[in-house]
């Protein structure tokens, strides 16, 4: 445990200001835009990120949620994660959300939560949703205040909003070291202006792709200007779908970014073998990009979503099955030097009053939703950072 505390202390320094990460070799050119076309290999000795999406933690805490370890109350959840080897907290951001809903994270919420994460010794991964509510491959709803904007004006709005958000975070000394420009944007974002598809349908057209890449380019430009050393992530959901992933990232050739971000939920995205195939193909074709699993999770009881299919193999929906799934996922990812991060989504799910407007029932967090006790899988994810060079 001592080395975890040392890591936490070191990462605390990285939360202060933007210029805190050693720049990699595929950043922006001198004017803050463009993409480095060199084939720089990813160093296998760099620190791997062990992350948790803790976006709901603050709302849960404020609504009297309960977390326990061996029957003892966990008073400071960010510190509990940091002390046990989690070095990065992922936080989602909505434009103008309903603060009394499950999608409640506006910029004020992010500042307060990020301050707690940084105080605990974790870096921040900021996840721009570019929506007032949940954005994913099935929905990318344009913010209400942006609905009347045409494609060019919308791209300018994305630039201004991204830039102002990052300036606000910098002013509070909680600048992110990792920035997602969109959440699971396999089908684009800010629909229908930026809606796309890599397969043959109405949204796989030059015009749609031009709109979408203009939005991404403007988002990336703002990131480079305000936080030039932060790594930019382009995140899709197809961890087990090599064909779609390859087709999508081929379209990203002109975008300035550093990290290929994937979601991998075994009950939706297939087996670990399929995940390995996707990672292998992407790392072969894009040797200058890091790869991170930006979202993963697995259920620990019979009410979790993973009971719907059998694609995930012989992993039971039990605490032990959850632990085995996460352990095998970590072992799979450790085989690839390009994979530099893993994030558990909604890790903070726990015991909370059923009447809470912030309650999300998924039964796949890292705490038992009935008792609030930490689950064995919690201690498995940090094994990812214990790696040797290939």
Give 19-48 pLDDT, tens digit per residue. Answer: 333 333 333 333 333 333 333 455 444 689
DSSP states of 99-112? TTSSS---HHHHHH
Q: Does any domain span residue 22?
A: no
**What pLDDT is recorded for position 200?**
85
Note the pTM of the prediction, 2 decimals. 0.88
Q: Does any domain span residue 74?
A: yes
Residue 319 structural domain: 2-15+46-385
Q: Does any domain span residue 39?
A: no
Q: What is the mean pLDDT of residues 152-175?
A: 98
Q: Does any domain span residue 65?
A: yes
Q: How far apart are CA 86 and CA 77, in angstroms?
A: 11
- Omega within 30 of 0 (cis) for the link into 192: yes
C-beta atoms surrounding 326 within 10 Å: 26
Q: Does any domain span residue 131?
A: yes
Q: Does any domain span residue 116?
A: yes
- Strands, DSSP E only, in 221-356? 231-236, 259-264, 290-296, 339-345
Q: How far is CA 305 from CA 136, 353, 364, in A?
A: 17, 21, 8
- Answer whether 101's CB lies under 8 Å from 154's CB: no
pLDDT tens, residue by residue, 91-146:
999 999 999 999 999 999 999 999 999 999 999 999 999 999 999 999 999 999 99
Q: For the chain, how many structural domains are there in total?
A: 1
**What pLDDT is recorded for position 267?**
85
**What pLDDT is recorded for position 28?**
33
- Phi and psi angles of residue 56, each rounded to the nearest 5 degrees, phi first: -90, -5
- Phi and psi angles of residue 50, each rounded to the nearest 5 degrees, phi first: -115, 110
- The three-class DSSP label of residue 276 is helix
* Residue 76: pLDDT band with limits 50, 70, 90: very high
Q: How far apart are CA 388 and CA 94, in angstroms?
A: 38
- Answer whether 81's CB lies under 8 Å from 366's CB: no
Residue 189 has pLDDT above 70, yes or no: yes
Q: Is 277 exposed, middle or buried (0-12, 13-18, 19+ CB in 10 A)?
A: middle
Q: Does any domain span residue 230?
A: yes
**What pLDDT is recorded for position 313?**
65
Q: Is 191 exposed, middle or buried (0-12, 13-18, 19+ CB in 10 A)?
A: middle
Q: How far apart are CA 309 and CA 317, in angstroms?
A: 12
Q: How far apart are CA 169 and CA 348, in angstroms?
A: 23
Residue 328 has pLDDT above 60, yes or no: yes
Sign of the dihedral defined by the CA atoms of residues 35, 186, 90, 282, in that order: negative
Q: Does any domain span residue 32?
A: no
C-beta atoms surrounding 255 within 10 Å: 18
Q: Which two tokens stand for residue 278?
A: 């996707």
Q: What is the mean pLDDT of residues 48-59?
A: 98
Q: What is the CATH number for 109? A: 3.20.20.80
CA nearest 81: which of 18, 16, 7?
Answer: 7
- Answer whether 375's CB lies under 8 Å from 70's CB: no
- Strands, DSSP E only, in the chain? 49-53, 68-69, 72-73, 88-93, 123-128, 178-181, 231-236, 259-264, 290-296, 339-345
Mean pLDDT over each residue of the chain, to the nearest integer: 88
CA nearest 183: which of 84, 291, 90?
Answer: 90
């Amino acid at each position: 445990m001592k080395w975890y505390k040392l890591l936490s202390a070191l990462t605390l320094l990285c939360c202060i200001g933007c210029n805190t990460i050693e720049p990699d070799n595929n950043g922006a050119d001198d004017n803050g835009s463009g993409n480095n076309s060199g084939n720089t290999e990813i160093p296998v000795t760099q620190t791997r990120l062990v992350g948790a999406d803790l976006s709901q933690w603050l709302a849960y805490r404020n609504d009297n949620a309960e977390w326990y370890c061996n029957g003892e109350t966990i008073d400071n959840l960010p510190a509990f994660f940091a002390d046990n080897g989690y070095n990065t907290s992922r936080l989602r951001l909505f434009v103008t959300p309903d603060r009394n809903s499950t999608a409640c994270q506006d910029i004020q919420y992010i500042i307060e939560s990020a301050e707690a994460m940084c105080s605990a010794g974790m870096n921040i991964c900021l996840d721009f949703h570019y929506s007032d509510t949940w954005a994913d491959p099935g929905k990318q709803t344009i913010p209400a205040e942006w609905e009347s904007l045409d494609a060019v004006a919308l791209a300018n709005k994305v630039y201004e909003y991204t830039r102002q958000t990052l300036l606000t975070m910098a002013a509070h000394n909680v600048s992110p070291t990792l920035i997602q420009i969109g959440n699971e944007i396999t089908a684009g974002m800010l629909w229908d202006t930026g809606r796309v598809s890599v397969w043959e349908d109405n949204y796989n057209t030059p015009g749609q792709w031009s709109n979408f890449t203009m939005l991404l380019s403007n988002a990336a430009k703002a990131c480079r200007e305000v936080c030039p050393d932060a790594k930019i992530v382009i995140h899709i959901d197809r961890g087990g779908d090599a064909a779609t992933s390859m087709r999508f990232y081929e379209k990203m050739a002109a975008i300035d970014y550093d990290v290929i971000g994937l979601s991998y939920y075994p009950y939706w995205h297939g087996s670990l073998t399929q995940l390995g195939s996707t990672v292998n193909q992407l790392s072969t074709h894009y040797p200058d990009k890091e790869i991170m699993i930006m979202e993963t999770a697995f259920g620990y009881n019979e009410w979790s979503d993973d009971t719907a299919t059998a694609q995930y193999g012989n992993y039971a929906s039990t605490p032990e099955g959850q632990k085995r799934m996460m352990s095998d996922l970590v072992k799979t990812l450790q085989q690839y030097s390009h994979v530099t991060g893993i994030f558990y989504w909604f890790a903070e799910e726990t015991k909370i009053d059923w009447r809470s407007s912030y309650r999300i029932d998924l039964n796949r967090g890292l705490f038992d939703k009935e008792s609030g006790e930490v689950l064995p899988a919690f201690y498995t994810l940090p094994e990812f950072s214990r790696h040797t060079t290939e």
